[in-house]
Amino acid sequence: MSKIVWVVHRYYPYPGGSENNVRNISETMVKTGHDVTVWSPTNMGDQNGVKVTADTSIFTQPQDLIILHGAGPGPQNFIIQNLQNISSPTLYYIIKPEETPFHIHALNNCTYIAASTPEDYEFVKKYKVEHKTIDVRYGILESEVYGNRTFRDKFNLPKDKKMYLSCGGYWANKAMKELVADFKNAYNDNSFLVTTGYYNGDNLMPENSENVYNFILEDRTDVLNAMADADYYIMNSFNEGYGLVLLEAMFNKKPWISRYITAAKIFKDRGITYNNSNELISILKNINEYSIDVESNYQFVKNNHTSEHTVNDLLRVLK
């Protein structure tokens, strides 16, 4: 049994990509026999066998591995700037590579680096740290990605039209307002668009309009049910750390459409990609011309991109 500590700015059951990604991997580590603690200043206590703390003294105790979930947020940066005081092995899990002092300090001073996307590999190559980099596949927790087809009923949405879905929050990089504009330009009366998020502090949530519905959803069950009820998933983000939602779409046997970034580059043969608004509008206007093998996508994710695969990749450093 290995002693693993995660570093993340906020932890499940708070909503969000980082919160749930660390949760999925941590709970899988616990199920496979490891002692897992999440250090996070914003937390609601222990969860599902995972110990959760905000006590920094944990970093003075011997651990088999300390994993930093990216750089950028204050808590991760705090640990990064104190790496010289940590004697246990550290692994910097690149979430979104950026040219900041904290990201570069983590690259240069962590014992290991985990990379997953083309952007990650360009980053480590630029700073000549390939020798301590491992390949890590993102994965989903299978029991946490299934939805029920109840979303349209619950929110009184059309049942006789194709539903396009985009989730993830109303942040600038998600480009939800831009997506709505493109959808309207491509609009036909046989479809509607749903966007969801759990935050609208920057007022980037689009306005509801004809065949465009926007929801603040803090209950992840609602999001999964939306995925189950959708006909297509769209990831319109200008940038992402990975784009884990594309794995979730494939696992739910939903064809996906995505800007050509991060995970969409990796899985470009399993979905529909675009580079700009004109290309997206053309895709939406001609969607019936595209054929996606959703059964093949499901099997691919199940065999290569579950949280068990992520855990196996991460813990290779212990061997």
Mean pLDDT for the stretch of residues 150-172:
96
Average pLDDT on 245-257 reads 97
Name the least confident of 102-106, 145-149, 306-310: 145-149
pLDDT value at position 171? 93
CB neighbours of 248 closer than 8 A, spacing ≥ 6?
Answer: 140, 145, 227
Nearest to 255 by CA among 246, 266, 243, 242: 246
Q: Is the pLDDT of residue 319 over 90?
A: no
Domains of the chain (ranges plus CATH)?
A: 3-136 (3.40.50.2000), 146-304 (3.40.50.2000)
Q: How confident is the model at residue 218 (pLDDT cuts 50, 70, 90)?
A: confident
Sign of CA dihedral 167, 96, 242, 140: negative
Instruction: Report the pLDDT value the prediction gives residue 48, as an integer from 0 to 100.
Output: 97
Distance of CA 126 to the CA centre of its chain: 24
For residue 17, the model assigns a pLDDT of 86
pLDDT of res. 90: 98
Mean per-residue pLDDT of the chain: 96
Q: Between the CA of residue 14 and those of 55, 78, 170, 198, what are the distances in Å?
A: 19, 21, 16, 10
Q: ω into residue 118 within 30 of 0, thus cis?
A: no
Nearest by Cα to 284 from 161, 176, 186: 186
pLDDT of residue 16: 84
- Collapsing DSSP states into helix, strand and coil, what is residue 39? strand
